[in-house]
Amino acid sequence: MDKRLQHQWVEKTILALNGLLPENVEFKDWQVYERMLLSALVCEQWITELSITTEVAGSLLARIALYLKEAKANYQQSEALYLKSLMIDETTLNEDAVARDLNNLAVLYKAQSRYAEAEPLYLRSLEIWETVLGKNHSIVAISLDNLAVFYHTQGRYAEAESLYLRSLTICETNLSKDHPDVVINLNNLAELYRTQGRYIEAIPIYQKNIAIQETIFGKNHPDVAISLNNLALLHCTQRKYAEAEPLYIRSLAIRENVLSQNHPYLAQSLNNLAVLYSAQGKNIEAERLYKRCLAINEDALGKDHPDVANNLNNLAELYRTQGKYIEAELLYIKSLATLEKALGAEHSLTKQVKENYELLLAAKISKTGWRNVIRNLVGYFVN
């Protein structure tokens, strides 16, 4: 086939496929994306081989990248598609699409704890949208919320709260109070309050969000699972285990039903339920869940990810409380090495794991010390 005709044929195919795929990559549309995924990936090959740089091509790549990230946690392939989309959108001078690509790529890097790479993308994306759309646009609010989540993750709470509140003000001005974007913003703000121990402020936000989400999306939506998980976390922090357990179990059931079996969100639910069981002394159930969680995160995120280190720490804590010091020590050492490399020695999680490891060492010394005392006493009386 003549190369010019091939170009035209491929561009028409991309246009048709782009038209078949829903514009917003939401949970309710995942089945459509899954059915079209193979065709979309074939189009991606054509886009690369023929150097196609149309806005439609960039849009298709960005949508598929988002689906691969959200539904399948396929971060490597998602990143490759985002980068191709970004290159195309920069070529076509589509500033709105460039900002979208930068924002989505930043969110992806945050999920992988690639913080140094993520922050400048968040900031550049926000700057473009504020310039193109104005500072009070609802898309600017989403960008502010994403940047706030990023700062929250890093423990930069004052910066995060300021951005959350600014984002919420924009959303509530432009959208209805039960709009999904408002609900997401409120949920993230409640998470910040939970992290800071501001439980009285957080609980009613969680409860309101769950009711709104169930009404809008139905009871088995992934966003409902997030809110259930977060409210359960708060109850767990207050040692209200009877209230937390059914929320965790329901959140886990939703995620097992709608997500791939190696998705980090599924691992998160497993880890949190394991923490609850460990606190209740249900050690066998806790160990099983920790190990399953660890296997998922190692597969999805890689062995050097902070979430994997956190899983190792939690399993080590379970072993330490059971007196299984040899098994625990190996896990603490691996966890600390990963966290010091990924987050630094001064990060709160690194410090917490170090404290846990020091407790283990103290317990070992204490146990060894008593053995030596007994051994010396026995030797004295025998002599």
- Radius of gyration from C-alpha coordinates of the chain: 24
> How many CB atoms lie under 10 A from the CB of residue 69?
21
The domain ranges of the chain are 1-112
C-alpha span between 328 and 304 (Å, rounded) = 18
Question: pLDDT band at residue 23, thresholds of 50, 70 and 90?
Answer: confident
The pLDDT of 128-157, averaged and rounded, is 93
Integer Cα distance of 254 and 250 in angstroms: 6
Residue 383 to residue 374: CA distance in whole angstroms? 14
Taking a C-beta distance cutoff of 8 angstroms, is the pair 8, 19 a contact?
A: no
Q: pLDDT band for position 373 (50/70/90)?
A: very low
Q: Is the pTM higher than 0.85?
A: no
pLDDT, average across residues 204-230: 91
Reading the block at residue 231, the tokens are 């409210």
pLDDT computed for residue 97 by the predictor: 92
In terms of C-beta density within 10 A (0-12 exposed, 13-18 middle, 19 or more buried), how is residue 261 classed? exposed
pLDDT score recorded for residue 1? 57
How wide is the angle at C-alpha 300 spanned by C-alphas 297 and 301, nearest 5°? 75
pLDDT value of residue 382: 43
Supply the pLDDT for residue 368: 56
* Residue 374 clears pLDDT 60, i.e. is over it: no
Please tell me the predicted confidence (pLDDT) of residue 210. 92
Least confident of 24-28, 93-97, 106-110, 215-219: 24-28
Residue-wise DSSP of 246-311:
HHHHHHHHHHHHHS-TT-HHHHHHHHHHHHHHHHTT-HHHHHHHHHHHHHHHHHHH-TTSHHHHHH
